[in-house]
């Protein structure tokens, strides 16, 4: 075609199969940007024949105004969670919410769900990895279906609940202002629940904690006083029996030597140590929250352990999984578990409860109709 002389734009358009206005625009650009000796060059490779970029309407806001919008929208963690109306109100010039959204989108900012960053130390990471590797090949049937998972989660009262959005770039996923926040002054209640494989969440035990009343505190003191009297009586009877055995020569102290015949280092064990007074106490600094006593009286006795015994009749081996919260590690609770022959497994530190149990408990809460919390 280029070896044939065609002067009419209509004929060129017809030969190339394009619109006449397209041919006119290309020829205009070629004439305007022509260079010398064009006859000796390939017209298709000539950059002067390319369509020039249209400038369009001049932008209303310059670089300084755009930077101001981005700075206002990302100045702190609270601003990143606000709507686009915040920069529109705080800017010294008039700007619409749509323009703010367009400027932030051009700058690379998106509204994303804030990430939760677990605070794990190196020892905790190693313990979690060891826990996972030791059970990676365990089957569901016969092993995991015998695990009862328990955990607590907080429910926010009187404020926004559920996922929120935070304004950030892709590389700001773990920026301190873009992480999930704990707002001061929020009123929360605690929801406890248990789940196990093969049983719907609505059929598993659950409990919603309420603030402890003065009557409950008085009743708790009376219960602990009775239990401490029983412990003191049992220790007194044990000391008397041990003294009688020592006087009669029936008591055989443990061998305090090593295998090679040398003496062991340290102080010899006191035979009366197990009979020394050990009272059950509640912390005096608690603020009406959950401690070992409330956990035992309101969860373990009426809910969890009956559920455990029921599952144990159907399953030969049942494990109880609890996290490392202080109410779960109390000595009084450990003695109570041993008396009930409960097989407890320690939850690895920093286990991803938020990714498993708490997500499941959120579904349980909705299933139970507890949306008012």
Indicate if the alpha-carbon torsion angle 365, 366, 372, 373 is positive or negative. Answer: positive
Give the Cα separation of 91 and 85 in Å (integer). 10
Could you tell me the CA-to-CA distances from 301 to 151, 305, 306, 340 in Å, in that order? 16, 6, 7, 10
For residues 291 and 326, what is the distance between their CA atoms, to the nearest angstrom? Answer: 8
Alpha helices in 194-330 (DSSP H): 214-247, 292-295, 305-314
Q: How sure is the predictor about 205, in pLDDT bands with cuts at 50, 70 and 90?
A: very high
Token pair, residue 369, equals 């109709």
Query: Once rounded to an integer, what is the mean pLDDT over residues 256-268?
Result: 77
Q: Say whether pLDDT at 302 is over 90.
A: yes
**266 is written with which tokens?**
């340290």
pLDDT the model gives residue 226: 92
Task: Give the Cβ contact number of residue 351 at 10 Å.
Answer: 22
- Backbone φ, ψ for residue 168 (5° rounding): -160, 165
Measured distance CA(269)–CA(253) in Å, rounded:
9
Residue range 121-209+290-373, CATH number: 3.30.420.10
- Give the model's confidence band at 2: pLDDT under 50 very low, under 70 low, under 90 confident, else very high: very low
Cα end-to-end distance, the chain, whole Å? 77
Strand boundaries in 263-339, DSSP class E: 319-322
Confidence (pLDDT) at 223: 93
Q: How far is CA 71 from CA 68, 112, 243, in A?
A: 5, 18, 79
Helix (H, G, I), strand (E, B) or coil at 372: coil
The CA-CA-CA angle for residues 362, 317, 346, to 5°, reads: 55
How much of the chain exceeds pLDDT 70, in percent? 77
Give yes or no for residue 124 having a pLDDT over 60: yes
Given a contact cutoff of 8 angstroms between Cβ atoms, the answer to whether 249 and 220 are in contact is: no
**3-class SS of residue 255:** coil
pLDDT of res. 121: 76
Contacts of 244 (CB under 8 A, 6+ apart): none
Q: Measured over all CA atoms, what is the biggest interatomic distance in the chain, rounded to whole angstroms?
A: 132
Q: Domain extents for the chain? A: 9-49, 63-108, 121-209+290-373, 215-255
Three-class DSSP category at 188 = strand
Go through the chain and tell me how many residues it has: 373
Q: What is the bridge-based pairing of β-strands 187-195 and 206-208?
A: antiparallel
Query: In this predicted model, what pLDDT tens digit does every residue of 171-195 receive, in sequence order?
Result: 888 888 877 765 555 566 788 889 8
Q: Is the pLDDT of residue 329 over 80?
A: yes
Average pLDDT, the chain: 78
């Amino acid at each position: 075609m280029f070896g044939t002389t065609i002067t009419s734009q209509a004929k060129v358009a017809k030969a190339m199969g394009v619109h006449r206005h397209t041919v006119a625009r290309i020829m205009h650009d070629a004439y305007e940007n022509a260079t010398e000796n064009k006859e000796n060059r390939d017209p298709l490779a000539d950059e002067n024949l390319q369509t020039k970029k249209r400038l369009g309407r001049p932008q209303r806001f310059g670089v300084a105004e755009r930077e101001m919008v981005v700075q206002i929208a990302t100045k702190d963690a609270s601003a990143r969670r606000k709507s686009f109306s915040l920069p529109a109100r705080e800017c010294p010039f008039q700007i619409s919410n749509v323009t703010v959204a367009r400027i932030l989108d051009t700058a690379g900012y998106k509204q994303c769900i804030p990430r939760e960053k677990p605070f794990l130390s190196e020892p905790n990471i190693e313990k979690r990895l060891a826990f996972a590797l030791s059970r990676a090949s365990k089957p569901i049937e016969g092993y995991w279906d015998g695990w009862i998972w328990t955990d607590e989660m907080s429910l926010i009262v009187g404020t926004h609940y559920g996922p929120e959005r935070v304004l950030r770039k892709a590389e700001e996923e773990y920026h301190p202002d873009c992480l999930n926040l704990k707002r001061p002054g929020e009123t929360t209640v605690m929801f406890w629940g248990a789940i196990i494989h093969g049983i719907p969440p609505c059929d598993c035990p659950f409990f919603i904690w309420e603030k402890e009343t003065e009557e409950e505190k008085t009743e708790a003191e009376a219960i602990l006083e009775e239990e401490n009297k029983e412990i003191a009586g049992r220790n007194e009877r044990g000391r008397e029996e041990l003294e009688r055995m020592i006087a009669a020569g029936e008591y055989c102290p443990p061998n305090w030597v090593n295998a090679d015949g040398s003496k062991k280092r340290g102080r010899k064990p006191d035979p009366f140590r197990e009979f020394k007074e050990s009272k059950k106490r509640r912390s005096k600094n608690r603020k009406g929250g959950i401690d070992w006593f409330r956990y035992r009286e309101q969860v373990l006795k009426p809910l969890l352990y009956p559920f455990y015994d029921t599952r144990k009749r159907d399953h030969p081996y049942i494990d109880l999984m609890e996290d490392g919260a202080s109410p779960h590690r109390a000595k009084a609770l450990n003695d109570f578990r041993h008396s009930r022959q409960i097989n407890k497994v320690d939850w690895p530190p920093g286990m991803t409860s938020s990714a498993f149990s708490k997500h499941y408990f959120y579904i349980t809460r909705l299933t139970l109709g507890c949306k008012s919390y």
